Amino acid sequence: MEFILQIRIYYEDTDCGGIVYHTNYLKYCERARSEAFFKAGIPPLKDGIGFVVKDMQIEFLSPAKLGDLLEVKTTLLEQKSASLRLSQSILLNNKEIFKAQLTLVCLDSKTQKITKIPLWAKSIFTSF
């Protein structure tokens, strides 16, 4: 199962040539992960518990341009007691133009220590 978010490319997303600036792909992926929480009616940081990226492997396959409508797909690959492994891809006209695999860890923002994923968060990730 996947969570899908559509993103329109605006002028502010591009470089002087109208091509999406490379760091924005990471922002789009972050936005899609946050939106999964919002869609479930839960803030991404709840009761001092949130998720941070531990590692990420990315590959840029093709550029997006001003005006394009992209889809960001997020898929849960693996869930452990305190971490998640996700796959995220960005598609333009059903063609993959960016892909990433990442590990998120659950973090207690008060202690700054890794903690077990609470049940309310597990339900969000198992929904996609």
Alpha-carbon distance 88 to 40, whole Å? 19
Question: Of 13, 15, 47, 68, which residue is the catalytic one?
Answer: 15
Contacts of 16 (CB under 8 A, 6+ apart): none
47 given a catalytic annotation:
no
For 74, residues 6+ apart whose C-beta sits below 8 A from its C-beta are 2, 3, 4, 5, 29, 32, 33, 36, 86, 87, 88, 128
- Of 56, 53, 39, the residue nearest 106 (C-alpha): 53
Active site amino acids:
15
